[in-house]
Structure 1
């Protein structure tokens, strides 16, 4: 079952929509699904639906609500991809993480979930890293996270498990950035990195030209096992 719920900001001065997919039975754990630059589109909603099938309560907050509410864009359409890049340029990532924190609190306090994880893609992968350093999420996963090299100064704050999926041919994350991620995080006791040789950004998308079926299934299986260990 799915619905749209309203979540209040941490300061109580605003609110935003959030797609919520509920499992058939009682859920004791929730996962916040963090959008790409294309908004809470069909692919992100399907990510939530799949997590609900696995027994989690899944929540995808509309993080672009301050810029343009209810964005749904298709990365395979050139004009919509360009629009997404423009929206990302206007997006305040620090406020976005606070909205993720508000979603985590909503899951715990309003929906009764004992544990809450987070999983994000692209921009959402970067925000998943920031969620691991700035919130009390119980476990976080980032797919093809962008710009993590300039967030490594926050790695000391990672107190709970974090997993990152890194495609080695990601044209948004060049080899030197990937090298910095490994150098900075390989020895971190709470961080696990997985490389996907020769794959590009967006390989685990639910729909469209970017998906690589074999790699997407492998990454999603690793994510399922990770959440199974840390959220159950």
Structure 2
């Protein structure tokens, strides 16, 4: 993907730039992306492109245009000093004017269908809060905003749904500052506040020394959930997942399967660490080690399915007869001819209407018991009984616990 630079009409007939990124479908709800203190640099453009992949028409205005046009700083010591100098002349009320101008332009774009929201990071996190108080955006999301504690008097004028993400170790918004914010906002309808313990400022900026993957992923899921509820777009994730499964297990077409995924997806079968990262590696895996490697009698029985804003958790019973070598499940093990039934859980993440990644889990010990490579009598593991109990919870529990009979006697 790749966006374009457009012109935005500001106050006093002044013109400033913004970076516009369009979704793959060409249209969608609007989203203003408010920059960090380093300007609309390569990182912010990449973030805009990523939200565009989620289905939004994204506009990242240059909020430093009054100080210097086209500011692009690196998040290093030199860039930090330059940014702090620019902030000395930065005025919140002027930035709100720019936000309103950007929102007005975005709504006029023919690509924008539906409402508009605002999201921002660092300086932009504060601007997202101000947008919730001073604009008619449908939803505003701020990441580790700096200075919000000095603006809590604006809480009474909130007009938008508001989500704020805070870093637990953030010296720029420390515990007393967060306490002030939570006291002012915490009990208000339409406001969601999250603190990510043990992480620091810029935990969601990939490449930052403070980047934290788990916190970033959780915050992103919460963000997309809020955007979807307020703005859309609403994708039928179940239908997308079912189509992917059909191409894998029925049509058995690697290229068509890859077309259901983002440009650089990944799949990780956790117990055997099989799969692939990136298009080329994953296509090779699908073509030569997965799609055509499953036994002909392979079948999947649905147990449960949970559908969220960005992902599906699928619980199934995976059944087959081990009549061929299965590279992804039993690499290097010749066929044993034995039937196998295993509970399997897949966590399937989407970006927009494309699969982004899959994490697949199962009990490998149970598989090895069922094909005769582990003697269940020697270890606390179960074979096909584990699958049977998933389907029928009334079957006996605690059969591997040698002391279970003793507690029955002692409990009387």
Tell me, in whole angstroms, the C-alpha distance in 1 between the residues paired with 2:72 and 2:111: 29
Aligned: 1:138 with 2:138:
yes
Deviations 1:158-185 (A, max 9, x none): 1220000011110111211110111111
**Structure 1 residue 208 displacement after superposition:** 2.7
Q: Does 1:115 align with 2:115?
A: yes
Which structure has more relative contact order (CA 8 Å, sep 6+)? It is 1
d(CA) in 2 for partners of 1:111 and 1:100? Answer: 19
Listed as ranges, the gaps of 5+ residues in structure 1 are: none
* 1:204-223 map, 5 Å: 204-223=204-223
In the other structure, the counterpart of 1:78 is 77
Give CA-to-partner distance per residue, 1:189-224, whole Å, 9 cap, x none: 011001100211111113332211111111111101
Q: Secondary structure at the match of 1:96?
A: helix
Matched, 1:6 2:3: no
SS at match of 2:87: helix
Q: Distance in 1 between matches of 2:124 and 2:20?
A: 17
TM-score using structure 1 length: 0.95
Which structure has the larger Rg over C-alpha atoms? 2
Distance (Å, rounded) in 2 between the aligned partners of 1:131 and 1:123: 12
User: Is 1:106 the counterpart of 2:105 in the alignment?
Assistant: yes
Q: Distance in 2 between matches of 1:202 and 1:111?
A: 34
The answer as to whether partners of 1:39 and 1:73 remain within 8 angstroms in 2 is: yes
Instruction: For residue 171 of structure 2, give the secondary structure of its aligned residue in structure 1.
Output: coil
Paired residue secondary structure (1:64): coil
Q: Whose strand fraction is larger, Structure 1's or Structure 2's?
A: 2
Matches within 5 A, 1:38-187: 38-75=38-75, 77-111=76-110, 113=112, 114-187=114-187
In 1: Cα distance, 2:175 partner to 2:12 partner: 42
Once superposed, which parts of structure 1, at least 4 consecutive aligned residues long, lie more than 3 Å away? none
Q: Give the SS at the match of 2:172.
A: coil
Point out where structure 2 has 5 or more consecutive residues left out of the alignment: 233-412
